[in-house]
Amino acid sequence: MTRLFKTHDIRETEELSGALWKMRKEGESEEEARNVLVPSCWEKLPGYEDFRGTCIYTREFTAGGTVRLVFEGVSHTATVRVDGERRAWHYNAYTPFEAVVPDLPAETHRLEVWVDNRFSEASALHVPNDYMTYGGIIRPVTLEYLQGGAYIEALHLTPVMTGGRWKLKIAAFVTPYAAQNPADYVVTTGFAAEDANGMQALCYEREENGQWIFTGELEAAKVRAWTPGEPALYAIRTLLHHRNPQTGRPEEPFDDRIERVGFRSVEVRGNRILLNGETMRIKGFCRHEDHELFGNALPLSVMEQDLQQMRDMGANSVRCTHYPNDQRFLDLCDEHGILVWEENHARGLSEKDMRNPNFEPQAENCIREMIHAHYNHPSIYIWGMLNECASETDYGRECYIRQISLIRSLDTSRPATFATCKFTGCGGDYDGQLQLTDKCLDLPDVVSYNMYPLWYFDTDIPTFLADMQEQMEKSDGRGKPFLVSEIGAGAVYGWHDAAKAKWSEEYQAETVGRQLTAVLESEACTGVYIWQFADCRVSREWFSVRPRSHNNKGIVDEYRRPKMAYRAVKDIFCRYGNYKD
């Protein structure tokens, strides 16, 4: 299952994951291959716990004609071969890619996916880090049967409120694989719940990157708005037809795509973020896709369980740190009414890391692929990028400018931000000399700071926040909404200490309680994201500051067992509503 709703009535699709594939290490013979479930990551297999290298996944499928293979996530570099011929290559674990294979004879074919999880200069985003880069086919794989020379690759649905009425702007991305002329095709669209008479034709607008883009607008007078309390969703069906050369009218459709939309507006006004005109209060968690049993190949049940626990604690938002998430998780957020901050893949990269020649193309590709694939999720209210990268340097600023401009060129309907930690004056002892050293605060729509008072430095939180605000007023970020994009403290699950020393559950519960109260009481803050929802594994190079090789700031541990802080968070989050007055 790749989505939580049916995406096609006409196009035939078949899931290739949810099944055992053969897998072997590069250099091993086919006889040595073992059966593994896809999706999964190999670190969870006995004997592969710390394997970095290349594994070859194979399986057969029987099909004829033109097929499209869709990979939702392979960690981190994939080479796809069909019957020995290379059909796709992709870098980055967290974004989808496809391989279109034309005119296969109707017989059994061999699919091979070479998967590499090594760190090297070729990989600028997956580096040893404060979370784990795993290896494997970590998200679903589907086989689609194409016909008619072209297919609807994606839809972008943009709800717009004008004169008190909702409208829906639609862009259909049609990929021709054996067709020359867009005029030979017609794209029609409408609400899936309405009958076929309600379908309306889109207009051909332009060709871009080998795709034909058809656009149009639907009236949506009767819809209810999507809100956290009532997350109403609507299915939009889009059909692809040949144009009859005699009549010029559309023939019976041969391809389709169904997407869901929620009608809501997001707007930044002064220092507030408005959802449907109301001032939002963010009460959220940062979350890695990681679980001790599954690595980053999370089953749907874990995604749902995570959201249930977050909701139980009174959260209304999740920050997908630090990469694009599984679409099924975003589908769940759409359905639960949980607001999402999604960001491109980059954590803590220094100027030197950013000067890797692969950094910019890889980070920008990730933005393109993320926004293209996740554009329709009403839950996503903001795009993020470049968490804690070198925004305090001139070189870094150039990259920040390019990437935020790219985000804005791809989506004008949502604000953009980045989480920074660039300030000085807070080393071991807070000296009251807080300086914001970030050179990019003029760029985002929302300023977001990661901060750890009472963890990395022992400062009274209200004083620290007040100093931060004072400095903010003197910076290029003045007047913008301000989010605390990370705050928290570590605790090793099950370690109790009467003296409430750091790493004890007692210390974490008390500290997180104080941190949250201070931020939520601060008029100047739009909201807060706790670092982090669950403990996560870190790469082995990070052992020295991470007991158990885990980032232990989770409010639940890596098996989702609540720590003492769970109660503290719940008590505080449940006191504050979704909106400020």
Binding footprint of ligand ADA on the chain (CB under 6 A): 130, 347, 387-388, 421, 450, 486, 531, 551, 553
Contact call for residues 285 and 315 (beta carbons, < 8 A): yes
The smaller minimum CB distance to ligand ADA, of residues 387 and 526, is found at: 387
The smaller minimum CB distance to ligand ADA, of residues 375 and 531, is found at: 531
Residue nearest to ligand ADA (CB): 130
The smaller minimum CB distance to ligand ADA, of residues 388 and 557, is found at: 388
The one-letter amino acid at 51: F
Q: Give min distance, CB of 544 to ligand ADA, in A.
A: 13
Q: Give min distance, CB of 392 to ligand ADA, in A.
A: 14
The smaller minimum CB distance to ligand ADA, of residues 341 and 531, is found at: 531
DSSP state letter for 138: -
**Which three-class secondary structure state does DSSP give residue 367?**
helix
Q: Measured between alpha carbons, how far is 343 from 346 in angstroms, rounded to an integer?
A: 8
Contact call for residues 528 and 419 (beta carbons, < 8 A): no
Query: Which element (helix H / strand E) includes 156?
Result: strand 150-162
Cβ neighbours for 256, distance < 8 A, ≥ 6 positions apart: 8, 9, 10, 11, 152, 237, 238, 239, 240
Q: Give min distance, CB of 380 to ligand ADA, in A.
A: 19
Q: Give min distance, CB of 485 to ligand ADA, in A.
A: 8
The smaller minimum CB distance to ligand ADA, of residues 111 and 385, is found at: 385
The smaller minimum CB distance to ligand ADA, of residues 78 and 346, is found at: 346
Q: Give min distance, CB of 347 to ligand ADA, in A.
A: 5
The smaller minimum CB distance to ligand ADA, of residues 362 and 551, is found at: 551
Q: Pick from 430, 481, 428, 475: which is nearest to 456 by CA?
A: 428
The smaller minimum CB distance to ligand ADA, of residues 387 and 393, is found at: 387
Q: Give min distance, CB of 123 to ligand ADA, in A.
A: 18
Q: Give min distance, CB of 297 to ligand ADA, in A.
A: 20
**Which three-class secondary structure state does DSSP give residue 49?**
coil
The smaller minimum CB distance to ligand ADA, of residues 233 and 370, is found at: 370
Cβ neighbours for 195, distance < 8 A, ≥ 6 positions apart: none
Q: Give min distance, CB of 322 to ligand ADA, in A.
A: 6
The smaller minimum CB distance to ligand ADA, of residues 101 and 132, is found at: 132
Tokens of 233: 């969703």
Question: What CA dihedral angle connects 250, 254, 260 and 264, to 10 degrees?
Answer: -20
Q: What are residue 341's DSSP bridge partners?
A: 319, 382
Q: Measured between alpha carbons, how far is 338 from 327 in angstroms, rounded to an integer?
A: 14
Q: Give min distance, CB of 342 to ligand ADA, in A.
A: 15
Tokens of 177: 């694989």
Query: Which element (helix H / strand E) includes 308?
Result: helix 300-312
Q: Give min distance, CB of 389 to ligand ADA, in A.
A: 10
Q: Measured between alpha carbons, how far is 224 from 213 in angstroms, rounded to an integer?
A: 28
Tokens of 312: 């139980």
The smaller minimum CB distance to ligand ADA, of residues 511 and 578, is found at: 511
Residue corresponding to tokens 């605000």: 469
Helical axes 327-336 vs 359-374, angle rounded to 10°: 50
Q: Give min distance, CB of 532 to ligand ADA, in A.
A: 7
**Which three-class secondary structure state does DSSP give residue 12?**
strand
What is the distance of C-alpha 33 from the center of its chain? 33
Neighbours of 556 (CB within 10 A): 22
Sign of CA dihedral 248, 249, 254, 260: positive
